[in-house]
Amino acid sequence: MDSREFKDFVYGEFARIGKTLSSPKRIELLDLLTQGPKSVELLALETKMGTANTSKHLQALLDAELVSFSKEKNYVIYELAGDEVMQLVLALRRTAEERIADINIVRNDFILKNNDFDSIRLKDLAEKIKEGSLTLLDVRPIDEYAADHLPSAVSMPLSEIETRLDSLPKDKEVVAYCRGPYCVYATEAVELLRARGYRASLLEAGVNEWKQMEG
């Protein structure tokens, strides 16, 4: 192997990762897996794809060694192949945010309802928790909360909020968070809480962003 063959091989392997990430659905699958291991069926439900199509995309990610899998009874469980894959997903998002202005415009309109919602930043959260002036809700599915969550967060999946309102004190601000700045669960939770008379805000971050700040 001469120097040209060496470079062609190396950059070809780099390009293989890039080619795998050229599918929006595969990036979404990786983003979901940053929250913890998930079955094919759960991933299909979240991405609104059929199980067969989801499996096809997961196989492509597996071929690129971006994910790994295990079997639990009748289920195949996928997870990220390592922390560097997590960092790749987050770096891809940050780069897009910096280079493509429309992403931030659309997010502001859809997630923050054109700034109609009050929002809170991670760096301000710790002080508010210390003051005891808020209730922090993790509105993700319970399996994601079990995998990891923010300190002091109470697990209250979006589907359960309506039936558990009595457990929330109305004299405190309620702050909801989900999978990160592009997750709609927290937006829907804040809408519901505000409609029921609660002073509710949205945390513009999730567990991964908190880990990065702490690290």
- As a whole-number percent, the residues of the chain with pLDDT over 70 amount to 99
pLDDT, one tens digit per residue, over 34-67 is 999 999 999 999 999 999 999 999 999 999 999 9
Q: For position 206, what pLDDT does the model report? A: 92
- Once rounded to an integer, what is the mean pLDDT over residues 73-78? 93
Q: For position 83, what pLDDT does the model report? A: 94
pLDDT, one tens digit per residue, over 123-148 is 888 788 788 778 999 999 999 999 99
Averaged pLDDT of the chain:
92
139 closest CA partner among 174, 205, 189: 189
173 closest CA partner among 150, 149, 152, 194: 194
Q: Measured between alpha carbons, how far is 47 from 60 in angstroms, rounded to an integer?
A: 16
Concerning whether 183 is annotated as a catalytic residue, the answer is no
With beta carbons less than 8 A apart as the criterion, state whether 186 and 177 touch. Answer: yes
Give the lowest-confidence range in 47-56, 101-110, 156-165: 101-110
Tell me if residue 176 falls in helix, strand or coil: strand
Burial class from Cβ neighbours inside 10 Å (0-12, 13-18, 19+) for residue 95 reads exposed
Q: Could you please state the CATH topology (level 3) that the domain comprising 3-87 is classified under.
A: Arc Repressor Mutant, subunit A (1.10.10)
Tokens linked to 105: 């415009």
- As a whole-number percent, the residues of the chain with pLDDT over 90 amount to 74
- Domain residues of the chain, as ranges? 3-87, 113-214
Q: Measured between alpha carbons, how far is 102 from 123 in angstroms, rounded to an integer?
A: 25
With beta carbons less than 8 A apart as the criterion, state whether 20 and 66 touch. Answer: yes
Q: Which of 175, 178, 186, 189 is catalytic?
A: 178
- Once rounded to an integer, what is the mean pLDDT over residues 107-123? 82
pLDDT, one tens digit per residue, over 167-192 is 998 888 999 999 998 999 999 999 99
In this structure, whether the domain defined by 113-214 belongs to CATH 3.40.50.80 is answered with no
Q: Measured between alpha carbons, how far is 42 from 159 in angstroms, rounded to an integer?
A: 16
